[in-house]
Structure 1
Amino acid sequence: MARIPVAQRRRDFIDAAVEVIAGNGIDGATTRRIAEQAQANVAMLHYCYDSKEDLFADVYEFVTGRYREVIEGSDPHTTLPEASQAILRGVMECYLDSPSFTAATFELVSWARRQHGARGIAVYDQAFDALRKALTEAAAADPVAPEVIDEVAYVLATLADGFAVNWLTYGDATVARAQMEINCSVLDTWLAARLAAAGAKPARRRRATRA
């Protein structure tokens, strides 16, 4: 049997840790459970990681990386309203696609905030930094003040996180899809009013399309 590279094993353990944390919480995410989820033995996990803390550090990087992928995947040659809508929809789709990712993210941030303070904040800080950059680039044709960008980023995060909590609580995909549209409508209305107040030119939003 071909030997599995260590890098692949590490990814397997990261994926397994996400599933275990989502189902059992941080306290229940033992190395044994994670190894079993990854269809490996505990010795292999300890060969790849010196400690569970080291594994969790990679899980954090995976979580922040998923947010970066969504945010940086937005079209930079667009408008602020269009980019905001695309990012909000992208994050909500990410949550909807993987309840385990959603649950694990909330568990990890809460745990890290209690145990390590800065590490829990870092997940949000990194996501917000990427978000501000993407929004600023989208607003290049009609620049707005930095505080407006900060407000848009905050509203996006609030809408996305509120959606995630409802999705985790009720688990109804049909209802969640309808709530996605409500959130996008709320963002449209608020953003139009905020940009008008800021003196920015209104931008025509392209109709969202689905594959």
Structure 2
Amino acid sequence: MPRIPAAQRRSDFIQAAVEVIATHGIDGATTRRIADQAEANLAMLHYCYDSKEDLFADVYEYVAGKYREVVEGSDPHTTVADAARQILHGVMQWYVDSPSFTAATVELVNWARRQHGDRGIAVFDQALDAVRGALRAAADPDHPVEPSTVDEIAYVVATLADGFAVNWLTYSDKAAAQQQMEIAQSVLASWLAVRLRHEAVTA
């Protein structure tokens, strides 16, 4: 059997940890369960990671990285409003396509806030920063959007996405989720129309 590189093994353990956390919660995410999920022996996990804390640190980085990937997947050659709608849709679709990721993220952020608050805040801050960056990139250079407006849009996108995530986790109804995605998009579009019109008038 070919030797699996340590970097690949670490990636396997991160993915396995997400699945185990989603199923068993933080307290149930033992190293043995994570190793079993990764189809590896416990010694290999301890070879790759000195402690579960070290593994979880990489899981947090993975979660933050996934948000960046989804957000940065929006079309940069568009308007601020369109970028916001693309980002919201992309995040909600990712939640639907990856229920384990959604459940694990909620568990990780809540646990981090209880144990060491800065790490939980960092995941959320990094996601918001990615949204702000994508919105700024989409702005017309001749008509820049005020930083305070960018902050507001990022907050509204995050709020709608997070509310959707909780509903999706609670009911796990894909048909209903698709309808709720459309509602959330409509709410965002209506709010954006008013907010950006107000900025144009006061500019």
What TM-score, normalized to structure 1?
A: 0.93
> Aligned letter for 2:121?
I
Secondary structure class of the residue paired with 2:3: coil
One-letter amino acid matched to 2:42: V
Structure 1 equivalent of residue 17 of structure 2: 17
Q: Give, in angstroms, the shift of residue 140 of structure 1.
A: 2.8
Whole-Å separation in 2 of the counterparts to 1:38 and 1:77 = 40
Q: Distance in 1 between matches of 2:7 and 2:197?
A: 50
- Residue in 1 that maps onto 2:181: 180
Distance in 2 separating the partners of 1:81 and 1:87: 10
1:117 correspondence with 2:117: yes
Counterpart CA distance in 2 for 1:143 and 1:71 is 20
For 1:4, give the aligned amino acid. I
| Residue 199 of structure 1: aligned partner | 200
**Residue 198 of structure 1 aligns to a residue in which SS?**
helix
Matched, 1:166 2:193: no
Runs of 5+ consecutive residues of structure 2 not aligned to the other structure: none
Q: Which has the higher helix share?
A: 2
Q: After superposition, what is the alpha-carbon deviation per residue over 1:19-43, rounded to whole angstroms, capped at 9, x for unaligned?
A: 0000111000000110111111111
Runs (4 or more) in structure 1 with deviation over 3 Å come to none
Q: How many angstroms does 1:13 deviate by?
A: 0.5
Q: What residue in structure 2 maps to residue 204 of structure 1?
A: none
Unaligned runs of 5+ in 1: 201-211
Tell me the amino acid that sits aligned with residue 145 of structure 2: V
Instruction: Give CA-to-partner distance per residue, 1:84-118, whole Å, 9 cap, x none.
Output: 01100000011000110000000001101111111
Q: How far apart are the structure 1 equivalents of 2:173 and 2:104?
A: 18
> Hey, what's the Cα distance between the residues in 2 that align with 1:116 and 1:53?
11
Between the aligned partners of 1:135 and 1:74, the Cα distance in structure 2 is 10
When normalised by structure 2's length, the TM-score is 0.97
Aligned partner of residue 153 in structure 1, secondary structure:
helix
Q: Partner amino acid for 1:109?
A: V
After TM superposition, give the deviation of residue 130 of structure 1 in Å: 1.3
1:169 to partner: Cα distance: 0.1
Q: Secondary structure at the match of 2:200?
A: coil
Task: Report SS of the residue matched to 1:75.
Answer: coil
1:81 and 1:199 mapped to 2: Cα distance?
Answer: 13
| Aligned pairs for 1:123-142 within 5 A | 123-141=123-141, 142=143
Q: Equivalences for 1:53-68 in 2 at 5 Å?
A: 53-68=53-68
Partner residue of 2:39? Answer: 39
Q: Summarize deviations over 1:114-159 as a string: whole Å, max 9, x none.
A: 1111111000111111111110111134312111100000000000
Q: What secondary structure does 1:77 align onto? A: coil
AA paired with 1:71?
A: V
Equivalent position amino acid for 1:78 in 2: T
